[in-house]
Amino acid sequence: MKRAPKILLIEDEVALGLIIKDGLEFRGFEVIYITDGSLAYATYISEKPDFLVLDVMLPSINGLMIAEKIRLENKHTPILFLTARTMPQDVLNGYMAGGNDYLKKPFDMEELIIRIKVLLNQNRLLENVQSDKNLGVVDIGKYTYDIMRGVLVYHGIIKQLTGRESEVLKTLYQNRNRLLARKEFLLQVWGDDDFFSSRSLDVFITKLRRYLKHDPSIQIINQRGFGYKLIC
């Protein structure tokens, strides 16, 4: 029998935490619930959860600091932040700390469930992908991407990418499912973050979206003013 996904929930508002815990357990998840952020890392190490739901504003330790510490240990376990703060800089800070997604309070329980299921499915796919240090031929949704040759294949249809298109797609793939800051993106691909390079990046993103449009599960999200995120 398949094991239920284990979720570590860290939320200091007890009433909200119990509602989330009950809702997740009702839908078949195993939930480890703690209210004290100072116990988060030790609980993560001992319980080895499949997923973390983490409040940002904890009284004992900032949720972003917890995520950063966990990311030193594990790069792949999905982390979803719960937050009452949704200013652009707050969102960016969450992604930079290693978060995969965020949800603003108050939120609908069904939306939380959907986001968890999506991220868990993405994580299972990522576990089967070889290390980025040995990239060769990889899967992006229903596409196959030959990084060395710059070839994108969809159900036998071959698309030869230009050198720059391939560099942009490779960079997105290497940073998949996390927000890649625009400046970091430009420096990696162009070695310059000036206006003309920035405009060129937007053009190439538009082209790649068109090439990948046959698989609706693939998205290149633009976090306006901050950067891009490939979801696959």
Distance CA 162, CA 201 (A): 14
- What's the CATH number where 100 sits? 3.40.50.2300
User: Of the residues 127, 153, 183, which one is the last residue of a structural domain?
Assistant: 127
User: Of the residues 127, 156, 186, which one is the last residue of a structural domain?
Assistant: 127
* Number of domains into which the chain is organized: 2
pLDDT tens-digit profile of 65-110? 999 999 888 878 889 999 887 666 777 777 778 888 888 888 888 8
Question: Is pLDDT at 164 greater than 50 in this prediction?
Answer: yes
User: Of the residues 93, 127, 161, which one is the last residue of a structural domain?
Assistant: 127
Record the tokens describing residue 215, joined without a space.
Answer: 């698989």
State whether 116 and 34 are in the same domain: yes
- What's the CATH number where 215 sits? 1.10.10.10
Question: Is pLDDT at 132 greater than 50 in this prediction?
Answer: no
State whether 44 and 151 are in the same domain: no
State whether 92 and 141 are in the same domain: no
pLDDT (average), residues 174-195: 85
State whether 113 and 142 are in the same domain: no
Q: What is the pTM of this model?
A: 0.56
The DSSP letter of residue 97 is: T
State whether 138 and 200 are in the same domain: yes
pLDDT tens-digit profile of 91-103? 777 777 888 888 8
State whether 142 and 218 are in the same domain: yes
Quickly list DSSP for 153-215. EETTEEEEPPHHHHHHHHHHHHTTTS-EEHHHHHHHHTS--SHHHHHHHHHHHHHHHHHTTT-
Question: Is pLDDT at 139 greater than 80 in this prediction?
Answer: yes
157 DSSP β-pair partners: 154
Q: CB under 8 Å to 2, separation ≥6 — which residues?
A: none
Distance CA 92, CA 164 (A): 26
228 DSSP β-pair partners: 180, 222
Q: Is residue 143 part of a domain?
A: yes
Residue that the structure tokens 């966990």 belong to: 70
Give the range of the structural domain holding residue 98, as residue numbers without chain letter: 6-127
Q: Are 66 and 37 in contact (CB under 8 A)?
A: yes
Provide the percentage of residues in the chain whose pLDDT is more than 90.
39
